């Protein structure tokens, strides 16, 4: 690992400290929460360290750590709501030493667009920055996902109405005791999805399955959840959280799975989940598309109100 601490065996004090940084700025990013890092901690060897005024988080590999052995770090996180260029530069220089000790340049990934100017101000003319379209988050208005109004979402509304008319179902919040049943559903769904998945993405799907197993540990502990049952069986599930522990304005959807052989089921789990979100919730962040064209088309078809643009950078 690249930094001193992992996300295992943390005290309540440690978690509160981490959350003070995750909540310290409006990152507009699905990866800047404690839960998001915890669920991927093993697959990506995620580690963290407070350096100067900022929290630094590093990981191994971007998608497949078995193939990509390069370490990267996210943009240092602040707990004050702002950044000081000089102290930020000192933190990045210390991180650079750690990366050089591993034999590589300082590589930053998943940088929110709003933070790119700070990076360029810290290292004028010495940093390479590029937009990473595959990692952009899709951010929607909650009300748009509930109402599905207008011509652009008419097809989604038709699929939803077909499901509501033709299926008897029950929607419920998942409970801790449902974790085993949810995992069994995820694994059974993967059995037929693997046959439709390009070879190079199969390992990613397996990594995602392990991350979901870790995510389910938070049922009853702040994780937002919903399942749809048809004839008593789970046929769709969604798992998410609030983007900040001190605000309900934005919800992150980490997982949404449904049997796509059942027309309208994906629209139904999305709609039912959003209907039950608090009144204070305005935005729903449904994460990135990872460069998968089918997923990109689907996410675009729901008409995001904005994109949470991400960048990567190399400081030599």
Largest CA distance in the chain: 62
The single residue listed with the structure tokens 């748009």 is: 144
pLDDT at 64: 56
Write the CA distances from 127 to 27, 118, 219, integer angstroms: 21, 11, 41
pLDDT, one tens digit for every residue, the chain (316 residues): 999 999 999 999 999 999 999 999 999 999 999 999 999 999 999 999 999 999 999 999 865 555 667 899 999 999 999 999 999 999 999 999 999 999 999 999 999 999 999 999 999 999 999 999 999 999 999 999 999 999 999 999 999 999 999 999 999 999 999 999 999 999 988 776 666 666 666 777 888 999 999 999 999 999 999 999 999 999 999 999 999 999 999 999 999 999 999 999 999 999 999 999 999 999 999 999 999 899 999 999 999 999 999 999 999 8
Vertex 245: Cα angle to 242 and 246 (nearest 5): 110
At 273, is the secondary structure helix, strand, or coil? Answer: helix
Kindly state the DSSP code that residue 68 receives in the 8-state scheme: -
Q: What pLDDT sits at residue 138?
A: 98
Structure confidence at residue 124 (pLDDT): 95
Q: What is the pLDDT of residue 15?
A: 98
Q: Which domains are seen in the chain, by residue range?
A: 5-135 (3.40.630.30), 137-287 (3.40.630.30)
What is the spatial distance between Cα 79 and Cα 82, in angstroms, rounded to a whole number? 8
Cβ atoms of 53 and 84 closer than 8 Å? yes
Enter the tokens of residue 304: 């995001």
What are the strands of the beta sheet with 310-315, ordered from one edge? Answer: 5-6, 47-51, 54-60, 71-73, 106-112, 310-315, 127-131
Report pLDDT for 311: 98
Query: Which pLDDT score, from 0 to 100, does residue 203 have?
Result: 76
List the alpha helices (DSSP H) in 67-198. Answer: 85-101, 116-122, 142-147, 154-166, 179-193
Could you tell me what percentage of the chain is helix, strand and coil, using 3-state DSSP and rounding each to the nearest 5? Answer: 40, 25, 35
Burial of 279 per CB tally in 10 Å (0-12, 13-18, 19+): exposed
The span from the CA of 173 to the CA of 171, in Å, is: 7
pTM: 0.95
Helices (H), 194-264: 199-215
Pairing of strands 283-285, 247-258: parallel
Q: What pLDDT does residue 37 have?
A: 98
Backbone angles phi, psi at 78, to 5 degrees: -105, 155
Closest CA to 77 of 39, 115, 120, 107: 115
Report the C-alpha gap between 113 and 120 in whole angstroms: 12
């Amino acid at each position: 690992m690249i930094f001193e601490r992992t996300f295992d065996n943390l005290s309540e004090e440690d978690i509160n400290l981490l959350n003070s940084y995750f909540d310290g700025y409006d990152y507009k990013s699905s990866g800047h929460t404690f839960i998001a890092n915890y669920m991927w901690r093993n697959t990506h060897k995620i580690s963290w360290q407070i350096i100067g005024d900022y929290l630094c988080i590093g990981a191994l590999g971007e998608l497949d750590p078995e193939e990509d052995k390069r370490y990267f770090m996210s943009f240092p996180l602040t707990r004050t709501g702002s950044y000081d260029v000089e102290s930020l530069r000192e933190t990045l220089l210390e991180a650079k030493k750690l990366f050089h000790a591993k034999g590589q340049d300082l590589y930053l990934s998943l940088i929110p667009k709003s933070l790119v100017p700070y990076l360029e101000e810290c290292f004028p003319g010495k940093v390479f920055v590029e937009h990473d379209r595959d990692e952009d988050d899709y951010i929607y208005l909650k009300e748009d996902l509930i109402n599905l109004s207008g011509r652009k979402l008419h097809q989604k509304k038709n699929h939803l109405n077909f499901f509501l008319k033709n299926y008897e179902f029950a929607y419920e919040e998942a409970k801790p005791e449902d974790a085993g049943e949810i995992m069994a559903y995820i694994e059974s769904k993967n059995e037929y999805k693997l046959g439709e998945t390009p070879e190079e993405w199969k390992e990613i799907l397996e990594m995602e399955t392990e991350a979901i197993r870790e995510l389910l540990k938070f049922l009853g502990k702040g994780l937002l959840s919903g399942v749809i049952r048809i004839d008593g069986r789970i046929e769709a599930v969604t798992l998410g959280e609030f983007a900040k522990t001190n605000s309900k304005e934005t919800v992150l959807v980490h997982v949404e799975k449904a049997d796509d052989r059942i027309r309208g089921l994906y629209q139904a789990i999305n709609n039912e989940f959003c209907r039950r979100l608090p009144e204070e919730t305005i935005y729903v962040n449904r994460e990135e598309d990872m460069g998968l064209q089918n997923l990109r088309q689907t996410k675009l078809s729901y008409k995001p109100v904005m994109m949470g643009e991400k960048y990567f950078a190399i400081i030599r």
